[in-house]
Structure 1
Amino acid sequence: MGSFEGHLLSGFGLLVFSIYYSSLMSLALLRKQKMLKHLLLPRKLLGRGLVLQVSYEAVVKVVMAAFAILCEYYYPLGVNRLMMIDWKDPQRLFVFKDTWQHVTMFGFFILSGIADIVSQAKQASWSVKLERAGEALAFYVVALLMTAHIENKSVLEIRVHLLFVLPAFLLALILTVEIWVPDNAPLWILKCWMGLVLSTWMLQICEMYIPFTGQPWRADNPTDLAFVTIFFCWHLFLGLTLLITIYGLCSLWHCHYSSRTKTLGARYQLYLTESSGEELEKLNAEAVAQDGGV
């Protein structure tokens, strides 16, 4: 979406997914799991049973991408960008290039969500590979279309979008490797880090539309161009800081939850021991009574 609202929606959505995956990754490392366990929708939703057991992120991925596509075509209200070719023009010119590029990207994320749903429904050994392949394809498309998106743009926009392509392409590469090595913890960490960098950089682009200082960015100024790269390096550090923070919070929660579970388990075992002792005493009394009667 080539607007402040579009970049804000996309950046916020990516940030939510990145934080979610970072939390799953942190808990998996703390629990020494070999696979990430996704949160599944309850089997009964709105009073009705689900045909398929799917995860929250698969549904959200499809819904958010579909909503973004509708916004691309019809936002702001009264606008219609659904047309691809201007048939009234004798030269049959293509129109709304940016819109169709964004729609294509969102469409591949819908395809990724559908792959997740099919994967989680089958519960087969190849299912995780299908999920990673769908996500990798979506980010390859993002990187490919963003390289074409910068045509006829200013030097500033070219620099900003190329720095956006870098983490998107690295994410696609990591997800590609995960197709064959899905249980590799360093890949989990790199994937979450690049996801956080990509989402925070998208939000940084929003600031370029409406600068906090009130002074617009100057596309022809070498100093502004230099600071774009500097800020991206800061986002690398910011993403790492967010990842460490999420891991720390998950570690605190895991320690608290583990200690509470151990306490409840000890109480439960003590209760069983006491109950079994009383039952043994009753059985002994009954045996003595029977012997006395004989």
Structure 2
Amino acid sequence: MANFKGHALPGSFFILFGVWWSVKYPLKYHSRRSKNGPGNRCFSYMEVTEGAVKIIFSVIGMLAEQFVPDGPHLHLYGGDPSAWVKLMNWQHTTMYLFFCISGIVDVFTYTSAKVPIGLDRLVLSVALFVEGFLFYFHVMHRPLVDQHIHSLLFIATFGGAASLLLEVFLRDNIVLELFRSSLALLQGTWFFQIGFVLYPPWGGPGWDEDDHSNMMFLTMCFCWHYALAILILAVNYALAYRRQQSAEDEISEEANSELIVLGAGF
């Protein structure tokens, strides 16, 4: 959708998953190191739930793109004279379709032994690549600021796709997982930024799309967005570490109490 809501929806999708990943992966990492955290079964349930949420968000996105009042309503070609119908909405629908496929693969990966481990990362990598590929041709021959603000998004999409491709072969690598989480957060906040620049929610015209100063500011603003993503990542990593340390301290205290009771019995 060529409006603010059309950018806020995928932005919310990526922010939700970026924040979730920034909590889940540090917890999983510290759990593996301490051997006292949640077991693999618990994290498998999380992966299945994550896949289900991904499917739900994607279906909502596809329905929203197709059935908004001015949407194509599943018509790809027609009219009088005949022409392509709302190709921008169809491109967004295609993007959501691949994330829906990724969610389905997530669910089957962690509920069926027949699906090879790593396929979930590969399909998500493909979904991000398709997103970047679609947006690359999405903004051709449009005003400079419009092209520039979308081209910055390619850094997050193709970077995330490359990181996930490496995760296929380097499973449970905390550095790659945190890097991917930061790029998901960056994508989410940047979608909102695109909406504010091109379709201000308070009404009125968007930014001057031929002003080079706007391009300079947006490039700098993109870096600020990534700094915010790193900050969120650092805070959640520290909280996960603190949570794991507290759990270990409680286990140590319980063990000491049992030894004292046993000693008193003798």
TM-score range for the pair, normalised by the shorter chain length = 0.7 to 0.9
Is 1:20 matched up with 2:13?
no
Matches within 5 A, 1:159-174: 159-174=148-163
Corresponding residue for 2:100?
110
**Secondary structure of 1:228 counterpart:** helix
Q: Distance in 1 between matches of 2:136 and 2:77?
A: 22
Corresponding residue for 2:109?
119
Contact conserved, 2:150 with 2:194, CA < 8 A, in 1?
no
Q: Distance in 2 between matches of 1:130 and 1:269?
A: 47
Is 1:82 matched up with 2:74?
yes
Shift of residue 109, structure 1, vs aligned partner = 0.5
Amino acid at match of 1:40: Y
Corresponding residue for 2:243?
253
Corresponding residue for 2:128?
139
Q: Distance in 2 between matches of 1:123 and 1:231?
A: 45
Is 1:179 matched up with 2:168?
yes
Cα 1:269–1:65 change in 2 (3 A) is farther
Q: Distance in 1 between matches of 2:251 and 2:146?
A: 53
Q: Distance in 1 between matches of 2:152 and 2:123?
A: 23
Out of 38, 43, 55, the residue aligned to residue 43 of structure 2 is 38
Identity of aligned residues (%): 25
Shift of residue 87, structure 1, vs aligned partner = 4.9
Corresponding residue for 1:239?
229
Shift of residue 143, structure 1, vs aligned partner = 0.7
Q: Distance in 2 between matches of 1:270 and 1:6?
A: 62
Shift of residue 256, structure 1, vs aligned partner = 2.2
Alignment TM-score, normalising by the size of structure 1: 0.79
Cα 1:75–1:205 change in 2 (3 A) is same
Corresponding residue for 2:180?
191
Name the structure, 1 or 2, with higher relative contact order (CA <8 Å, separation 6+): 2
**Secondary structure of 1:152 counterpart:** coil
Contact conserved, 1:22 with 1:192, CA < 8 A, in 2?
yes
**Secondary structure of 1:128 counterpart:** coil
Is 1:219 matched up with 2:209?
yes
Amino acid at match of 1:263: E
Structure ID, larger Rg? 1
Structure 2: where are the runs of 5+ without partners? Answer: none
Alignment TM-score, normalising by the size of structure 2: 0.87
Amino acid at match of 1:11: G
Amino acid at match of 1:69: M
Is 1:152 matched up with 2:141?
yes
Corresponding residue for 2:85?
95
Q: Distance in 1 between matches of 2:244 and 2:202?
A: 38
| Count of paired positions | 260
